[in-house]
Amino acid sequence: MSINLTILGCHSATPRVNAHPTSQFLDINNRAFLIDCGEGTQVQLRKYKLRFTKIQCIFISHLHGDHFYGLIGLISTFMLHKRSQELHIYGPKGLKEVITLQLKLSKTWINFGLYFHELTSKSTELIYEDEKVEVHTIPLKHRIYTNGFFFKEKEGERKLNMAKIVKQDEIDVCDYRNLQLGKDFKKDDGTILKNEALTLPPIPGKSYAFCSDTMYHEDMVPIIKNCDLLYHETTFLKDKKELAKTTMHSTAFEAGTIAKMADAKKLIIGHFSSRYSNLNDFKQEAQEVFENTELANAGKEFVV
């Protein structure tokens, strides 16, 4: 069980030579996910030698250009590479229309399964689930309909406590599976041995919460509570608190506050406005409330 996050871009608004718009590559339990896809994302994926042809799902937070203008190009590249694996795209309503229109105009026929899962709910919902991972939306508060995404490894199976098990003659190897699944053991005389007495708790699943773009919005806290890793946007510093409100973005101090309220283990900040030249100011400001803060940076990896 592991979460490995690579930042591909972490700047707001327009792409520049060394400032790429939002995108992140998430390897969670060997699933390859892409989160947001600003212009130039496919080049960043190549630059950091990520196995981007393995991407199974793409999660798009909202339909501002710096979060999805690279998507059509990436899909086109998948086609040129003769992809056969299915691709699932989760994002706001409208995304399917804009992508299919562009494919239609170029008279391009998709040669793999391309599935859009359009989001419209304003409450958190489970949008992806397999045997080991689930993804929930985190409704955010921005100028247009926006979701963050909460990625969570499912709890594994309980571990056999062999020291205890070997003392019980009646327990056979073929009973182990039931114990791992959490079931109690019934002896021949009818006595019940509680599962907790024979097994150890599973390794808890790790979690990652991605929250961009949003103004300060405490409603997200219960959804992301106790996450191992939290990415929260910090477009501005406190000096532009009013501008943050008007444009519905957050300050570094506000991101730190959310991380603290959520009892996150680590906070990553990004989506920096181009008006700031010293990004360390963002880190310092967030650390006024939440010490374990790190700056996002293209190519930087975070392992949980």
- List residues with catalytic annotation: 66
Residue 65 sits in the site that holds a copy of itself (CB under 8 A): yes
Residue selected from 25, 35, 40, 286 as contacting a copy of itself according to rule CB under 8 A: 40
**Whole-angstrom Cα distance, residue 298 to residue 19?**
8
Site membership for a copy of itself, residue 105 (CB under 8 A): yes
Q: Is 102 in the site for a copy of itself (CB under 8 A)?
A: yes
Q: Which is nearer to a copy of itself, 16 or 159 (CB)?
A: 16
- Cα 223 from Cα 242, distance rounded (Å): 27
Task: Determine if 13 is a binding residue for a copy of itself (CB under 8 A).
Answer: yes
Our separate counts of H helices and E strands in the chain read 10, 18
Return the number of other C-beta atoms located less than 10 Å from residue 13's C-beta: 16
Minimum Å distance from CB 209 to a copy of itself? 24
Here the contacts of 188-191 (C-beta below 8 Å, separation 24 or greater) are none
Beta-carbon neighbour count of residue 111 at 10 Å? 13
Residue 218 touching a copy of itself (CB under 8 A): no
110 binds a copy of itself (CB under 8 A): no
Say what angle helices 252-261 and 280-287 make with each other, to 10 degrees.
40
- The answer to whether residue 73 forms part of the interface with a copy of itself (CB under 8 A) is yes
Q: Does 180 bind a copy of itself (CB under 8 A)?
A: no
Distance CA 255, CA 216 (A): 7
* Residues in binding contact with a copy of itself, number by CB under 8 A: 33
Indicate whether 15 belongs to the interface with a copy of itself (CB under 8 A).
yes
For residue 94, state whether it binds a copy of itself (rule: CB under 8 A).
yes
Residue selected from 86, 118, 125, 144 as contacting a copy of itself according to rule CB under 8 A: 144
Region of 42-50, 82-90, 118-126, 156-164 interacting with a copy of itself (CB under 8 A):
42-50
Question: Which of 209, 143, 188 minimizes the C-alpha distance to 3?
Answer: 209
* Contact between 121 and a copy of itself per CB under 8 A: no
Side chain identity, residue 217? H
Amino acid at 90: Y
**Is residue 260 packed enough to be buried (19+ CB in 10 Å), middle (13-18) or exposed (0-12)?**
middle
Decide: is 76 part of the binding site for a copy of itself (CB under 8 A): yes
Contacts of 103 (CB under 8 A, 6+ apart): 72, 75, 76, 109, 110
Stretch that binds a copy of itself, among 58-66, 122-130, 264-272, 288-296 (CB under 8 A): 58-66
Given the rule CB under 8 A, which residues bind a copy of itself?
13-17, 39-40, 42-43, 46-47, 63-65, 69-70, 72-73, 76-77, 80, 92, 94-95, 97-98, 101-102, 105-107, 143-144
